[in-house]
């Protein structure tokens, strides 16, 4: 007897969940139920941002657990974005987090591709809203 799975929601999370279930269990029957589908969802235009959550005063075990969960997710997203980027809609875009006060580098800076601080010119452009 085939296993049937119902995924509720057709946004980024729902479709990613359904995709992952089918990729790992091709014999499953997956049904997606949603009140809206593309192009009527916020995921269609907003997209998804993946970045480690900033933990306040984390224990080393919490950081290790977060890395164990984050890195495979990031690698999986990277793999599907390379397969057929124009068909699957997954693209890597650069994300900037801008803070008014100087902060130390986050503990997860080596986990994300191309982490860097903004240059003085970029900071001036951001401060003047000239971008």
pLDDT digits (tens, 9 = 90+) for 67-109: 888 888 888 777 877 777 666 667 677 777 777 778 888 888 8
pLDDT, tens digit (0-9, with 9 covering 90-100), for 49-60: 677 777 777 788
Tokens of 23: 């990729």
pLDDT at 7: 95
- Cα radius of gyration rounded to whole Å, the chain: 19
Cis-peptide, bond into residue 39, ω within 30° of zero? yes
E strand or H helix that includes residue 71: helix 60-83
Identify which has the larger pLDDT, 81 or 29.
Answer: 29
| Alpha-carbon span 109 to 111, nearest angstrom | 6
Give rounded-to-5 percent helix, strand, coil for the chain. 40, 10, 50
Q: Is the pTM above the cut of 0.85?
A: no
Name the least confident of 25-29, 98-102, 109-113: 98-102
| Alpha-carbon span 51 to 108, nearest angstrom | 9
pLDDT at residue 4 greater than cutoff 90: yes
Average of per-residue pLDDT values in the chain: 79
Burial (Cβ within 10 Å: 0-12, 13-18, ≥19) of residue 19 = middle
pLDDT at residue 131 greater than cutoff 60: no
pLDDT at 6: 96
pLDDT at 27: 95
């Amino acid at each position: 007897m085939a296993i049937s799975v119902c995924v509720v929601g057709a946004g980024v999370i729902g479709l990613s969940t359904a995709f992952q279930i089918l990729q790992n269990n091709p014999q499953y029957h997956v049904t997606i139920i949603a009140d809206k589908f593309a192009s009527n969802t916020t995921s269609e235009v907003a997209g998804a941002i993946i970045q480690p959550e900033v933990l306040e005063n984390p224990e080393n075990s919490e950081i290790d657990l977060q890395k164990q969960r984050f890195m495979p997710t990031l690698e999986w997203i990277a793999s599907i974005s390379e397969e057929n980027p124009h068909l699957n809609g997954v693209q890597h875009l650069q994300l900037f987090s801008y803070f008014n006060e100087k902060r130390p580098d986050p503990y997860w800076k080596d986990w994300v591709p191309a982490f860097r601080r903004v240059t003085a010119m970029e900071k001036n452009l951001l401060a003047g809203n000239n971008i």
